[in-house]
Amino acid sequence: MLKVGIVGLPNAGKSTLFNALTGLSVPAERYPFCTIKPNTAIVNIPDERLDKLANLFPYAKRTYETLEFIDIAGLVEGAHKGEGLGNQFLSDIRGVDAIVHIVRLFDAPEVPHPLASLDPVRDAKIIENELVASDVEILARNIEKLRTRILRGDKSPAKELEALEKTLTLLESGNFAPETFAEEELALIRKYQILSLKPVIYVANLDEKGLDLSQNEYYINLERYAKSLSRALVSIPAKLESELKRLTPEEEAEFRQALGLSSGLERLILACYQILNLVTFYTFVGKKEVRAWALPRGSSLLEAARMIHTDIAEGFVKGEVININDFLRYSSEEKAKEHGAFRVEGKEYIVKDGDVVTIRFRM
In this structure, the answer to whether residues 181 and 213 fall within a common structural domain is yes
Residue 280 lies in a domain: no
Kind and range of the H or E run holding 233: strand 232-236
What CATH number should be reported for the domain holding residue 242? 3.40.50.300
Domain of 269, in residue numbers: 3-274
pLDDT at residue 36 is higher than 60: no
Contact 104, 120 (CB under 8 A): yes
**What pTM does this model have?**
0.83
Cβ-defined contacts of 83-91 (< 8 Å, 24+): 84/10, 84/32, 84/33, 85/33, 85/36, 86/130, 90/130, 90/131, 90/134, 90/195
Q: What is the CATH number for 310?
A: 3.10.20.30
Percent of the chain with pLDDT over 90: 52
Please give the full DSSP string across 275-295, using - where no structure is assigned: HTTEEEEEEEETTTEEEEEEE
Same domain, 320 and 265: no
- C-beta contacts of 113-116 below 8 A and 24+ residues apart: 113/9, 113/11, 114/9, 114/10, 114/11, 114/32, 114/74, 114/76, 115/9
Indicate if 261 and 306 belong to the same structural domain.
Answer: no
pLDDT at 30 over 50: no
259 and 316 housed in the same domain: no
Task: Enumerate helices (H) and strands (E) in the chain, giving the number of each.
Answer: 14, 12
In a domain, 63, yes or no: yes
Please name which of 220, 184, 185, 227 lies closest in space to residue 204, comparing C-alpha atoms: 220
The more confidently predicted of residues 285 and 159 is 159
Question: Are 123 and 179 part of one and the same domain?
Answer: yes
Question: Is pLDDT at 53 greater than 50 in this prediction?
Answer: yes
262 and 222, same structural domain? yes
Model confidence pLDDT, tens digit, residues 130-147: 889 889 999 999 999 999
pLDDT digits (tens, 9 = 90+) for 265-298: 888 888 888 899 999 999 998 778 999 999 999 9
Query: Does residue 28 register a pLDDT over 60?
Result: no
Q: 338 and 232: one domain?
A: no
Residues 242 and 350 in one domain: no
- Decide if 70 contacts 84 (C-beta within 8 A): no
**Pairwise CA distance, residues 53 & 66, whole Å:** 18
Q: Which 8-state DSSP code applies to residue 28?
A: -
Co-location of 270 and 304 in the same domain: no
Asked whether residue 292 is domain-assigned, the answer is no
316-335: pLDDT as tens digits: 999 999 999 999 999 988 99
Instruction: Write down the mean pLDDT value for the chain.
Output: 87
Residue 255 lies inside a defined structural domain of this protein: yes
Average pLDDT of the segment spanning 53-59: 88
Is the separation of the CB atoms in 7 and 127 below 8 Å?
yes
Q: Do both 193 and 304 map to the same domain?
A: no
Same domain, 307 and 269: no
Residue 269 lies in a domain: yes
Is residue 283 situated within a structural domain? Answer: no
Give the C-alpha separation, 174 to 123, whole Å.
Answer: 18
Query: pLDDT, tens digit, for every residue of 174-204?
Result: 888 888 899 999 999 999 989 999 999 999 9
pLDDT score of 22: 76
Tell me if 285 is assigned to some domain. Answer: no
- Domain for residue 290, yes or no? no
- Separation of alpha carbons 169 and 42, rounded Å: 37
Tally of domains within the chain: 2
Torsion of CA 325, 330, 334, 340, to 10 degrees: -80
Q: Looking at residues 295-304, what average pLDDT do you find? A: 96
For residues 141 and 265, membership in a common domain is answered with yes
Range in 28-32, 229-233, 272-276 with the lowest mean pLDDT: 28-32
